[in-house]
Amino acid sequence: MVEQEYRIDKVLFSRGEIAERISDLAGRIAADMRGRELLVVGILNGAVFFLTDLVRRMPEDLDVRVDFMSVSSYENATKSSGVVRILRDIGSSIEDRHVLIVEDIIDTGYTLSYLLELLHARKPASLKTCVLLDKSARREVAVHVDYCGFSMPDAFVVGYGLDYAGRWRHLPDIHSVSAVGS
């Protein structure tokens, strides 16, 4: 089978729009978390760009800690099975701590739903979710998103941490991709 080639297409969210939205989110999260210690857990690799911009826009006197998890979906040929494998876990206990999961994009919802169940069992004081992009039309399992950057249509996107086969994470804007020849 010949691999389909893709090219980057139009900008869906510009770097300026992203920066503005992230400042709003950081302000809301900081207001909700004032006086508490906040553990921000980024999901590698896609959420790294978003997380680093988000925490740098939080007030300097907010007690913020940062950690990461790495997960991969067990997939069959055509569709995510909804089972997630932990490749790297959080480095410390989250019991009685205020945890914010930061993810690049929510699509079917399987990844976040699995992570919420897993982390909830570790008895955090609170557990919230923050996603930059939400493809709500594609949801297969219900997941509560506490902080959302942008709702977006059903399109595959790259840039600002999001990749296609490892490429295009470094792009400053978020683009849709299209098949070459279409």
Query: Binding residues for ligand 5GP, per CB under 6 A?
Result: 46, 80, 103-111, 156-158, 162-164
DSSP character string of 7-54? EEEEEEE-HHHHHHHHHHHHHHHHHHHTTSEEEEEEEETTTHHHHHHH
CB of 62 to ligand 5GP, least distance (A): 26
Q: Which of 9, 107, 146, 173 is catalytic?
A: 107
Nearer to ligand 5GP, 36 or 138 (CB): 138
- Strands annotated E in 78-167: 80-88, 98-106, 126-134, 147-151, 157-158
Active site residue 173: no
H or E stretch at 112: helix 110-120
d(CA 8, CA 171): 10
Nearer to ligand 5GP, 50 or 127 (CB): 50
CB of 10 to ligand 5GP, least distance (A): 14
CB of 70 to ligand 5GP, least distance (A): 11
Nearer to ligand 5GP, 150 or 164 (CB): 164
Question: Which residues are designated catalytic?
Answer: 107
